[in-house]
Structure 1
Amino acid sequence: MKILHVSTSDISGGAARATYRLHGGLQNMGLDSQMLVQEKSSHDQTVIAPRIRLFQGIAKAKLTFEALPLKLYRHRKSTPFFLQWLPDRIAPQVAKINPDVINLHWVSAAFMQIETLAKLKQPLVWTLHDMWGFTGGCHVTGGCDRYQLSCGACPQLYSNTDKDISHWVWQRKSKAWKNLDITLVSPSHWLAQCARSSSLFQDKRIEVIPHGLDTQKYRPINQHFAREIHNLPQDKKLILFGAIQATSDINKGFHLLQPALQQLSKAGQKDDIEVVIFGANKPENTPDLGFRTHYLGYLNDDISLATAYSAADVMLVPSLQESFGQTASEALACGTPVVAFNATGLKDIIDHQQNGYLAQPYVVDDFATGIAWVLENEHRLQKLSFYAREKAEREFPLELQAHRYHSLFQEIINIQNNSLLHT
């Protein structure tokens, strides 16, 4: 079986890392797996990307042109919003590779034109890493449900017009994908339900397969050693928070984390707890989190991340929306319990008061209560840590994810072959 993953990047960003992990898991099974990307950061020869600098320059220029129509919406939010209206060279590249099945992933950032999907002749599986596939351009809806109809009057564009550019994107998707034979894979039940309720994907097959990870790389590491590596104190309870653009991406919930930590600080134990942040450098004007705070900067390799998780006593994921929540699953694999809100994809990862704490959605007081609950009892903390690792070993091994995808790919290929035999 020859598998081709199509992704904007190979290892840059959470969606890309999830894709690259799956790619590696399928290779470990002995399968022929390749990636076709716009931006290559690894040295993996099975990752195919433009080699000519001219094409790399064109790819960067496309991002500028991609966003030009959005300038009509001067007050729009700064959240990612992609129209995918520019032509691409993906169909002839795929034809040259000639895979048995195509697995689409995060294909935004002016990489794949909406209309290209219908030009691909092989069986299609699309792994949803966010909500863009069934919206009029946004990746995180922020509670808006207009994707269930036909978008328009988009709150992220500050638009009051039903026929705005989000509706135009939705119309293009509806027309291009109307007769598309495609199977969708969601990493969480929440995202799957959103896709099922969408006007674009309500009639499509949707499977749930959680993102996997290497549980030998992400495993409990001696806490003393882990703290030594990151130059962290040995005699404190450490609270960890981290994500790509951890303090600047509003969806990651830093604006909710800050008051929760301040509240926890006022409740006592200020001298016993310290905060650790990765995914952001120390700013010039450091925000008051109520505790001494350590900034680890950007951690891009598995060893650095695994030691950061292992150094901590609790991981905080105060995100507003997560399609899955890889920092949460990575933390559990390292034996670190997680506090998050009881919403979106994180509900599939964290079991309330078994391997972490699920606070009432976006209630700062309860989030602070959850942190205290995890940390206040050493025996309880050890049990939470044990069950965190147990959950990761049971549900998130890379081998399990790869086998599930392989079975799905084989089933879809067989269905298409049988269909061709009877036509």
Structure 2
Amino acid sequence: MSPPPHGVAGWPYGRSPPGPARPRSLPDGRPWPRIRIITVAHADAALAGTVASVLRQDYPEFRHDVLAPRTGRAAVERILTDPGPDHLLWLAAGDLLAPGALIALALEASLAEVDAVAGLRVLFDHAVRGLDGPDRAAEAGGRRSARGGILWRRDGLADHADLDPDGMLNEGSAWSTTSENRRNLIGRPALLHRLLSDLPPPASGLSIVSLTGTGTQGGAGVAQRRLAEALTLAGHRIAEVTLSGRPEAAEWRDVFPPAEAAIAATAPDLVLAGNLHGATRSLDVVGRLARRGPVGLVLHDLFPLTGRCAHPRACGRAAIGCDAACPTPDEYPQLAPGRIAGIHERKRAVLAGAPVGPEVRSPARSPAPWLLANSDWTLARARELAPPGTVVEPIRLAFPTAVFRPGDRAGLRGRLGLPPDDVLILVSSVIVDGPDKGFADLRAALQAVAKPGVGVVAIGRLDDPARLGIANLFAPGLIADEAMLAAWYGACDLHVTASRHETLGQTPIEAGLCGVPTLAYRTAGLTSAVIDGVSGRLVPMRPGALADALAALVDDRATRTRLGAFARIALESRYSPAAAALSLEAVFRRLGLGDGAAHPRFAPAMLGHFPFAADLRTGATGTVPAVSPPLVRRLRRAKQMVFGRRMPLFVRRCLYLAGTLRRRVP
């Protein structure tokens, strides 16, 4: 049986698409807001489907008014003065509310406290033609495509209620006249809109180079790849370029002729760069690229703003000038102490648009890269540490929301060989016991709740699992397949991290999309990745706080279930590929890149990133390095016993020379 043209299998008459169960009340205990839905019953419209899509919303507090044509305006004017409904939503006859639309719109309206919340519109006739959002300006002639699917706060609509004789709101006009800080666009479909005429061709996209240091493996590399994929679905042309395949040479390399030549040959409208420190310890290449055209530097960490490190921790030297007094020059990304001050000065010169290297004699100021911050904390930190005048803009990261989704927990446990009835606590990181992951705090918290019926799943590199001191431990190691990673997430009850140094924190979002809440410290970018009281719990950074909160959640299944349901709803709206692409499109408009008047439209494949789509997108593989052989793991443990996590300069030079010789030998 072929899927219906709107791309959602069986909707609105068949089996309900998968999704989290609706909690009984909002996260703060308030009842769900009351919603009044208004539809005009045109004789030629498929009204039955519209009504069915409303009735299948699983929303507790709504009323659907179906009005006769040419008599609806007076009825709607009465509704606007009725104190009963909190929100209003217009729905054109023949259009359908997407699965779960009301709960997603209402939750975002309650969390953001805005006057209007819109979702994406799936545009279809005989097939899905694309996805878009509300127009930024009123649509000429009151075209029907301007109507439907936006949730309006009744008290905030009084000044924007431009009604036609049927009582339908001109939503294009109302949306454009609502101030930007009083409206939100969530990155998931809310409306399935039936096209009655041909769509105009989409705007011509940008040519964008996605530039990484050594590729797209590991946390930051994966994030960079996902951003590139989201931009591709937004109609942009993406070319991926890697600076180097020699990470052992990064400390001494600043020039990359093949990569720079490839970028010059592409002549892109934008270079979107991120995670460069695996190939170089400077930003000189960014400065050279910025002289050719716009460069956006994604802050997957704070490396572009320091003399050496990715996370300054408690060190305050980045604000006054990093130098040889750096307390951790032998930690990754390592740099000889005597070079730190010079590298920091060169980075600041690049960010300020000043020439570096052979061109320092030129007084001309070059264009500077933009800094793109993935969380509120990163945005504030970048504005604090960057040179005055640096452009710093907020963006959202992208996550494959159809891959990371709630599943049948019992079935997943049976498939993975996990105990069916234990409370399973998940910890996940590329390097579980890495220096920035708070391993000592994590171990103490896990040991504090260790008892029969409580198990721990540790995903990532953990060379010595015995270091956790947990008897009921399941350690599958590094998982390079996103679908398999999502299965391990979905099999667990609770995710916990003790990290203090995340610019965002991708694992809490991946876990939350799978319906698993996160417990974390209230610090850094985790305050964006974990919505406190909604997608998890944040605790202060004091001794015992993590252990106490973990014990409470282990014993409280109802709270875990409630937080997991909210996590899926809220994080899908904020971190889908569409949400990420829309955040970047907003940056492009503000900075004058591309056609600022163009209305963004996504390719039909974007719909496949949502679990209710008939044709789901599949996850990526090869996201992390292959598991090291046992001998390598033993050697790494021996090295850590001698040097800890540090790598002395003489060892780094030996590795560099060995790599050079290896490449010269045919």
Aligned to 1:217: 403
Task: State the distance in 2 between where 1:84 and 1:140 align.
Answer: 21
Conserved 8 A contact 1:10-1:19: no
Secondary structure, counterpart of 1:344 in structure 2: coil
Conserved 8 A contact 1:3-1:103: yes
The structure-2 alpha-carbon separation of the partners of 1:397 and 1:415, relative to structure 1 and needing over 3 Å to count, comes to closer
The answer on 1:29 being equivalent to 2:234 is: yes
Aligned to 1:207: 393
How much has 1:364 moved relative to structure 2?
4.2
Task: State the distance in 2 between where 1:325 and 1:251 align.
Answer: 12
How much has 1:11 moved relative to structure 2?
2.8
Greater mean deviation of Cα atoms: 172-181 or 310-319: 172-181
The structure-2 alpha-carbon separation of the partners of 1:196 and 1:311, relative to structure 1 and needing over 3 Å to count, comes to same
* Deviations 1:240-275, CA, capped at 9 Å, x for gaps: 00101112x11112221111122223xxxx111011
Equivalent AA in structure 2 for residue 216 of structure 1? A
The structure-2 alpha-carbon separation of the partners of 1:337 and 1:4, relative to structure 1 and needing over 3 Å to count, comes to same
* Deviations 1:261-306, CA, capped at 9 Å, x for gaps: 22223xxxx11101110102563x6135344111111111111111
The answer on 1:118 being equivalent to 2:287 is: yes
Secondary structure, counterpart of 2:271 in structure 1: strand
| 1:371-386 to 2 correspondences below 5 Å | 371-386=550-565
Aligned to 1:244: 430
Equivalent AA in structure 2 for residue 258 of structure 1? R
The structure-2 alpha-carbon separation of the partners of 1:231 and 1:202, relative to structure 1 and needing over 3 Å to count, comes to farther
Task: State the distance in 2 between where 1:185 and 1:372 align.
Answer: 37
* Deviations 1:374-420, CA, capped at 9 Å, x for gaps: 22222222211111111212211111111221332354344899xxx
Secondary structure, counterpart of 2:544 in structure 1: helix
How much has 1:201 moved relative to structure 2?
3.6
The answer on 1:144 being equivalent to 2:318 is: no
Aligned to 1:289: 469
The structure-2 alpha-carbon separation of the partners of 1:170 and 1:304, relative to structure 1 and needing over 3 Å to count, comes to same
Aligned to 2:329: 157
* Deviations 1:316-361, CA, capped at 9 Å, x for gaps: 1111200110001000100100011110100012122332111212
How much has 1:117 moved relative to structure 2?
2.1
Task: State the distance in 2 between where 1:29 and 1:236 align.
Answer: 43
How much has 1:16 moved relative to structure 2?
0.8
Aligned to 1:2: 207
* Deviations 1:212-254, CA, capped at 9 Å, x for gaps: 212111100110122123211111000000101112x111122
The structure-2 alpha-carbon separation of the partners of 1:65 and 1:84, relative to structure 1 and needing over 3 Å to count, comes to closer
Conserved 8 A contact 1:259-1:289: no
Match of 1:261 among 427, 438, 446: 446
Task: State the distance in 2 between where 1:306 and 1:125 align.
Answer: 30
Match of 2:224 among 16, 19, 37: 19
Secondary structure, counterpart of 1:252 in structure 2: coil
Task: With the length of structure 2 as denominator, give the TM-score of the two structures.
Answer: 0.53
Between the aligned residues of both structures, percent identity stands at 24
The answer on 1:229 being equivalent to 2:415 is: yes
Task: State the distance in 1 between where 2:249 and 2:212 align.
Answer: 20
Task: State the distance in 2 between where 1:299 and 1:101 align.
Answer: 32
* Deviations 1:124-159, CA, capped at 9 Å, x for gaps: 11111101101001112121121111112211138x
Task: State the distance in 2 between where 1:88 and 1:192 align.
Answer: 32
Task: State the distance in 2 between where 1:388 and 1:88 align.
Answer: 45
Structure 1 stretches of at least 4 aligned residues deviating more than 6 Å after TM superposition? none
Conserved 8 A contact 1:88-1:113: no
How much has 1:21 moved relative to structure 2?
0.7
The structure-2 alpha-carbon separation of the partners of 1:86 and 1:386, relative to structure 1 and needing over 3 Å to count, comes to same
The answer on 1:193 being equivalent to 2:365 is: no
Aligned to 1:359: 539
The answer on 1:181 being equivalent to 2:361 is: no
Secondary structure, counterpart of 1:257 in structure 2: helix
* Deviations 1:105-127, CA, capped at 9 Å, x for gaps: 11112358522222221111111
Conserved 8 A contact 2:506-2:529: no
The structure-2 alpha-carbon separation of the partners of 1:151 and 1:415, relative to structure 1 and needing over 3 Å to count, comes to farther
Secondary structure, counterpart of 1:102 in structure 2: strand
Conserved 8 A contact 1:151-1:167: yes
Task: State the distance in 1 between where 2:284 and 2:463 align.
Answer: 43
Aligned to 1:74: none
Task: State the distance in 2 between where 1:305 and 1:116 align.
Answer: 35
Equivalent AA in structure 2 for residue 372 of structure 1? A
Conserved 8 A contact 2:425-2:456: yes
Task: State the distance in 2 between where 1:107 and 1:305 align.
Answer: 26
Conserved 8 A contact 1:244-1:280: yes
Secondary structure, counterpart of 2:548 in structure 1: helix
How much has 1:210 moved relative to structure 2?
2.4
Secondary structure, counterpart of 1:286 in structure 2: helix
Task: State the distance in 1 between where 2:425 and 2:443 align.
Answer: 12
The structure-2 alpha-carbon separation of the partners of 1:280 and 1:66, relative to structure 1 and needing over 3 Å to count, comes to closer
Aligned to 2:453: 272
Greater mean deviation of Cα atoms: 29-38 or 142-151: 29-38
Unaligned 5+ residue runs, structure 1?
A: 40-58, 68-82, 418-423
Structure showing greater radius of gyration is 2
Equivalent AA in structure 1 for residue 272 of structure 2? N
Conserved 8 A contact 2:283-2:304: no
Aligned to 2:491: 311
Total equivalences in the alignment: 370
Aligned to 2:269: 100
Task: State the distance in 2 between where 1:27 and 1:66 align.
Answer: 30
Task: State the distance in 1 between where 2:303 and 2:509 align.
Answer: 23
Secondary structure, counterpart of 2:461 in structure 1: coil
Secondary structure, counterpart of 1:251 in structure 2: coil
Aligned to 1:128: 299
The structure-2 alpha-carbon separation of the partners of 1:98 and 1:296, relative to structure 1 and needing over 3 Å to count, comes to same
Aligned to 2:9: none
Equivalent AA in structure 2 for residue 352 of structure 1? D
Match of 1:171 among 320, 342, 345: 345
Unaligned 5+ residue runs, structure 2?
A: 1-205, 331-336, 354-366, 597-666
Equivalent AA in structure 1 for residue 279 of structure 2? A
Conserved 8 A contact 2:213-2:276: yes
Higher helix proportion (structure 1 or 2)? 1
Aligned to 1:405: 584
Aligned to 1:46: none
Secondary structure, counterpart of 2:213 in structure 1: strand
The structure-2 alpha-carbon separation of the partners of 1:309 and 1:64, relative to structure 1 and needing over 3 Å to count, comes to closer
Greater mean deviation of Cα atoms: 102-111 or 126-135: 102-111
Conserved 8 A contact 1:195-1:202: no
The structure-2 alpha-carbon separation of the partners of 1:14 and 1:6, relative to structure 1 and needing over 3 Å to count, comes to same
* Deviations 1:91-115, CA, capped at 9 Å, x for gaps: 3221101111111111112358522
Task: State the distance in 2 between where 1:112 and 1:403 align.
Answer: 31
